Structure 1
Amino acid sequence: MYRRWLSLLLFCVLSIGASIAQSQTEPFVVGDPLPDAPELAPRGAYKVGVRTLKLTNPGQADILKAKDGKAPAYDRPLTVEVWYPARIPQGQAELTQYEQVMGLANNPQRPVVPYTFAGRALRDAGPDVQSGPFPLVIVSHGYPGSRYLMTYLTENLASKGYVVVAIDHTESTYRDVASFSSTLLNRPLDDLFVLNEMARLSAKGSPSFLAGLCDASRTALIGYSMGGYGVLNVGGAGYSPQAVSLFKQLAGGSDTLRLRAAGSPALKAPVDTRIKAIIAFAPWGMERGVWDAEGLKGLRLPTLFIAGGKDDVSGYDKGIKLIYEGAVNADRYMLTYVNARHNVAPNAPVAAILKPGLPLNEYMHYAEPGWNERRINNINQHFVTAFLGWHLKGQDNRKYLDVPEKVTDGVWPGFKPRAVGLEMRHAKPD
């Protein structure tokens, strides 16, 4: 009997040890669904590939070198990451390692520290051209940030039949952050350039892997914080005279931002007809006078705003909410995380950022003090899926968006019981 119990105990210990070892080798991947994830959060039917592209936008204003109101021209480099429906051979894992950094360039208090984290995509996998072409989604990060800031969302959308392109905005990433003037000027210009490049690379006969894979005539733009500032402008919202004045102070007297201001030829022209929808996470600028009533009237595309009710960077009552209310010519929704602050868009903090001894800022750049970040990721996946499926694929997803203003105990379509802390507003064009 003693030997039998000893054998059983040894078996249990070995089994537990094997389970622990297996759990340690199985990577945690941001964006994986929690048990209470809403209905549209889990990944779709497509396998996902990922590739890095290096692009160059010629003849751009080098605003960092502006002097006496003039800026020399330069060829602006951009790195983008592309996630896409892929064909993955049997036996190959749909996994990758993203190379990221924490910290800030040229900041001794926050030195740049490389790290990696896992993703559910296969690097350089063959594209699933036979199932395409797929709508295009362009993603723009905050200041500073990187093209890997929202992989939970970019991978998820690719698995649902989209080609997703996230931009490293030069002079605005952790590795190369520079004067704010570059971010103010280049966000909408980068977005439009990448749209044109994706259309070119996807054309029939192109030597790119994107040929026949991407349908740029069905495009949506997603932006977070300063990315939201940029995508709203691309969507037709013109910058205010105060924004032009602020830019001029920061950019050596240059008033180049007037080219994207309300009333400028670019903003009087119809919005690029390829762009069908805008999603703006915590868009910046209202509290600083970057937007005004006249400029916001130019936004006419269907728009989903996503915000924290206590946003401490872009502001809520006098910031994001006023942008939502001022966009009177757009069919618009606003999802609010009650009591959340600014970080309603990024990946949940990964293991490298949770290590003891790191500066608190590295954690706080991703962390949301009032919410579980993984839950936010899942909820964003759900609503972004609903919104893009409606506007880019014609799916009847309005039931997920046309909901009571406040969720109470999971009564919203697609949510499990005990869901609380969310609000959804909807306003139709005047």
Structure 2
Amino acid sequence: MALSSPSRRGFLSMSAAASIVTLGVTGTFSLLPAQPAGAAQEGAVYPFQVNVPEEALVDLRRRVRATRWPAKETVKDESQGVQLANLQKLVRYWGTDYDWRKVEKTLNALPMFLTEIDGLRIQFIHVKSKHPNALPLIITHGWPGSILELLKVIGPLTDPTAHGGTAEDAFDLVLPSMPGYGFSDQPTEPGWDADRIGLAWDVLMRRLGYEHYVAAGGDWGSVVCDKMAHQAPAGLLGIHVNMPATVPPEVAKFMRAGDPAPDGLSADEKAAYDQLNTFFAKNGAYGSMMTTRPQTVGYGLSDSPAGLAAWMYDKFAQWTYSGGEPERSLTKDEMLDDITLYWLTNSAISSAQLYWENNANNFNAVDISIPAAVTIFPGEIYRAPRSWTERSYHKLIYFNVVDKGGHFAQWEEPQLFSAEMRAAFRSLRQLT
């Protein structure tokens, strides 16, 4: 699918200091800024800031206080889902001491921008390194994440000399919010799948003046990177993923049937097979629902703060390297920052629609021929073995297994993730 030049279709005018304003009494909020001078120019990139009106936060706290809680689970573990006591503790803090304004202050201190690509406004952070010859890097977040999960790597990647690296390790960093997520526009028609996002990211990087760049991501970010690698735009030097798609077709057919691991697998391959079999059998219902019925699941998530918090906290608990206690990896404020972003932007449905658009098993082997780097974190949904990874990524320039961190690698272990970025892309810097 070819991306068109930026158009005026669906364009809402904007100001450099965009804000969220209420729409009626429904409790929904939308970005409605006023247009700055020059914004109508094709390819315009202009500043963006967040300023949520107080009534939106008052409405949120009112809804939290009005939560109707379900009965307690009948087991002593999380096998039935998020435990009542854990969620009540988080949600009650959300309605009392939690402070969204700290997030706004953090975001507004960063260089944030808006630009329209193929009819949608894309919000992104763009931080240039002070070091010359920095390598441009675009990182894509996932679900239930956002650009907030990437903030802790900005310093280490753009200013490596202050974080244990050298000037030669520096990156210029571009962190976009995917369509339907955060402050980017929500698609109003089908077609915004991972392929189209990958094409949009190449437009974005070229619009920012980068002739050559690298791309990285986890979760949906890995899927987008894989798509970009297939598209192989002229400027893309290589990718890094920390949720690689590696399951060979002759193995995937057993997994689809829910069968035990086939004969002939190595110990690493069998462990990966068993991890994914458990994921699909016991932990994958969220994905099935969003892949098949995103609109249906979105009503409850858009109307109930506690429901949204439970939906997302469940994944924080399962996917962090925390033994099921996400507070060991992320603070309650960090989790609530992300949950609140979804709530205030009313993006439960629009983010879930990406699953419907993709409608594929994102762990099945890819066939990628541009340079690729992979880091395996121990708390990932599955730990891809090197043997499968080499079959999927034919120019594997870097492969490393680390000893800590989970699915939200940038969020959980920003220093380690940044070190992996430096090592993964070092050999490609000479190509810029």
Taking structure 2 as the reference length, what is the TM-score of the superposition? 0.41
Q: Which has the larger radius of gyration?
A: 1
Kindly indicate which of the two structures has a greater share of residues assigned to strand: 1
